[in-house]
Structure formats: C-alpha cells, structure tokens
C-alpha cells in the first residue's frame, strides 16, 4: 500500500489541499492499522509528546540558533516533528468530531477580544 492512497496528491501544497482532505488521509491511515481505540487522553498525551520532540530540537539554543535549525540545519527533523504534532491534532479532531476551521475561527474571535489591536502606537 503506497502513500499515494492517502489522498494527499504528490506535490500538492497548502493552497491546493483542504483540511478535510488532510482529515480523511489521517483517518484512513489510522483505520488501515486498526488504530480505532484511541481516546482523548491518549491523543492529548501524544500531542504533548510530539510537541516535546519538536522542542527538543531547540533545547539550549539561542533564538538565532533555533531559527537557523528550523530554517536550515535541522529542517527535515523540524518538519517531521511539526507534522507529528499536526497529525495527532487532526486525529483528535476526527475522533471527537471537531470542525477545525470552525473551532479556530471561534477561538481567534475570542483571542481578538482578549488581545485587541492597539491603535496609534506607530
């Protein structure tokens, strides 16, 4: 079974792949492996563990060193751990039927009220 079956067309980038297509690809990947018994605790732990793996790349780095790693010297590792975080977030949304566009929109609306844009500071 090849990765092409996971509905993310080869070479397609963010401007050509829907969130729904990503959700379906992750659901199919999990379903193919029988990973259907996950729960909110497993998934929240997995998100945190993968976020820690992402953080480990930058342990003891100055801001400049971290930027250099993310952009150049640890680029592939950085991309993989970022993908792991997102894959588990998408799994969580699938298991608990959370529409990502809707919940991000709603949370950003709350954040905008909590952190209003300050005018006249230029």
Contacts with Mg ion by CB under 5 A lie at 50, 53, 81, 84
Specify the residue, 74 or 84, whose C-beta has the smaller distance to Mg ion: 84
- CB of residue 63 vs Mg ion: minimum separation in angstroms? 23
Residues 6+ apart with CB under 8 A from 77: 57
- CB of residue 47 vs Mg ion: minimum separation in angstroms? 11
- CB of residue 83 vs Mg ion: minimum separation in angstroms? 8
Please give the residue whose beta carbon sits closest to Mg ion in the complex.
Answer: 84
Specify the residue, 23 or 77, whose C-beta has the smaller distance to Mg ion: 77
- CB of residue 93 vs Mg ion: minimum separation in angstroms? 19
What is the length of the chain? 122
Specify the residue, 75 or 109, whose C-beta has the smaller distance to Mg ion: 75
Distance from C-alpha of 106 to C-alpha of 97, rounded to nearest angstrom: 16
Whether the CB-CB separation of 58 and 69 falls below 8 Å is answered with yes
Whether the CB-CB separation of 1 and 32 falls below 8 Å is answered with yes
């Amino acid at each position: 079974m090849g990765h092409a079956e996971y509905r993310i067309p080869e070479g397609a980038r963010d401007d050509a792949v829907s969130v729904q297509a990503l959700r379906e690809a992750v659901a199919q990947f999990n379903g193919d492996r029988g990973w259907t018994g996950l729960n909110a605790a497993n998934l929240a732990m997995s998100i945190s563990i993968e976020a820690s793996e992402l953080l480990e790349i930058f342990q003891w780095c100055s801001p400049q060193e971290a930027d250099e790693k993310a952009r150049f010297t640890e680029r592939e590792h950085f991309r993989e751990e970022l993908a792991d975080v997102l894959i588990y977030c998408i799994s969580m949304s699938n298991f608990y039927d959370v529409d990502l566009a809707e919940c991000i929109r709603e949370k950003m609306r709350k954040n905008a009220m909590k952190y209003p844009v300050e005018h006249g500071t230029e």
